[in-house]
Amino acid sequence: MTDTYTAISFAERMARVYSAAWAPAVKQVLLAPEVVGTRTSLESVLAQFPDLVPSGLLPLAIVDDASLAVVATRDLPDLASQGEVLRLFTTAVSDEFQLSLLDVDPILYVSSLAEELAARTVGINRILDEIGPAYLESHISHQKRPRDYVVRPIRIACQNVILGMAAIAQDASFDGLTVPAWQTCEVPHVVTHEGNRALAALMLCDAFQNGGTMEIRFDRKVLLRVPKKNGKGTGTTTYHGHPEGKVPASLRRYGRTVGVWLGAEIPGAITPSEARALFEAITPMPPSLRSRMGTVTATYGLTPERVCFALL
């Protein structure tokens, strides 16, 4: 793990989680000892699930109505290393989906929740109340195809439940994609991080087909053209990047689970090298096909991102 937390013992990491001055929104989901004052105490959860600690799992946070984030208190063979954060479903699910990786460290996980929750209301309102209606009026209502520089919304849903929303546009100033909005969530009936994976796949495909460098920025000024209510002309709304001001916490959290540390070089950007690594990591393919892709790219010069784009 490329982070200073590698030098800190597990006990100290958990002590830091419990002693930090988290915002009220974080204390709504954090599971900590009663003295910390979270909405749900660690003791009450352990009373409900007494087998967790003997199994090497410590409850950390509420994920949704049917799952908890738990931390591996020791190395668990074929499952997790000490300190990794897993998603424990409290309802019956297939074994392959139980205890999937949520993050690589408890401090990083809770910190990412703090960043995400602090900007969530602004981000959701930006998509639902501003970008979505503007795009509906300017393009969908006229059955008009958008140019690549137009700010356009994306939504990912499963069984009428929205998993992720974003807004993207190609930016000629750096020949890459700019993303002024990005929001995802975990829901009980969908596998872990699927909202992030699916939304990232669409974003990366868009970045590739636009022919740019595949750099993706979350810190650039974006102008949204908003049709005036009288139908005469347009106004503009200016966004100074994503509400979090850098690569969104949920996307960085997902990147860590697939071994790609996003925003590591530039906090407000996914660099071309990071984008390509993420593209390969999230594209489903059996080992034999992945091996063939490596042979083809090395022998014939076909870029890995072209293969990933075709498969996705």
Give the separation between CA 312 and CA 306, rounded to whole angstroms: 10
Prediction pTM value? 0.91
Q: Which two tokens stand for residue 225?
A: 């053209």
Mean pLDDT per 10-residue segment, the chain (312 residues): 66 96 97 96 96 96 97 95 96 93 97 97 94 88 85 92 95 93 95 96 94 93 78 78 96 97 96 96 91 88 89 91
Cβ atoms of 168 and 206 within 8 Å: the answer is yes
Distances in whole angstroms, Cα of residue 164 to Cα of each of 71, 127, 199, 265: 25, 11, 7, 25
Burial class (CB in 10 A: 0-12, 13-18, 19+), 297: middle
Q: Where are the domains of the chain?
A: 4-104, 110-311
- The CA distance from 276 to 249, in Å, is 19
Angle between helices 194-209 and 304-311 (to 10 degrees): 120
Which of 85, 97, 63 shows the shortest CA–CA distance to 13?
85
CB atoms within 10 A of CB 114: 17
Q: Is the CB of residue 275 less than 8 Å from the CB of residue 207?
A: yes
The rounded distance, in Å, linking the Cα atoms of 308 and 294 is 12
